Structure 1
């Protein structure tokens, strides 16, 4: 007989692809990640393509009348979101160094990105 009190937590990956202030998609994806974490879901984030721009430290969000996504993302460890991956090719394309990011990330090559996506139970592309 199965133990009703135990549950298997699923590995969930959110893929963030949008530039930080081009529409509402980037902010909505970050809000989704925080909400999932608040409900004790295991959440991992992968920033692909233009999405890596969300991780930059010095964002001029105030000039646009918005809150800085970089500041919000820097709080991810407070929500126990500690597995954050980035597209290494996108970092190179934008010439972004690791010290220019708001939090530590793990750069992944294309093959590693595919392996990560295949290893997750649920994949949400934002």
Structure 2
């Protein structure tokens, strides 16, 4: 049985390549039926924000990659409630459904997976 993997995406979509690399890693794992989850933490929650203006800073919008996650079997999406609150984001403003977790639930989530990669 393949080991499960949790990818923690902590970077805003405009802060460099880490946000895109986290999504690419999850899509690749999903293509190989790897049991995995994706947690948006810290500034990573901005990846789920609706109405991003990526072209204004000459970046590629990550929405298409995010929308493709279910096609690759990636349905375990998680978001830190604290990160949303600290950045003034509401769960209804997210571009796709995700499980909103408090700090204790995030600790439990880390224990559910065999491997954790943070980008």
TM range (shorter): over 0.9
Shift in Å, 1:46 = 0.5
Shift in Å, 1:89 = 0.4
**Partner residue of 1:105?**
98
Query: Which protein is bigger by CA-based radius of gyration?
Result: 1
**Partner residue of 1:31?**
24
Structure 1 vs Structure 2 CA RMSD: 1.1
Structure 2's unaligned 5+ residue stretches are none
**Partner residue of 2:44?**
51
Query: Could you tell me whether the CA contact under 8 Å between 1:19 and 1:26 is conserved in 2?
Result: yes
1:13 has 2:6 as partner = yes
Q: SS at the partner of 1:46? A: strand
**TM-score (norm. length: structure 2):** 0.93
**Partner residue of 1:41?**
34
Shift in Å, 1:21 = 1.1
1:61 has 2:72 as partner = no
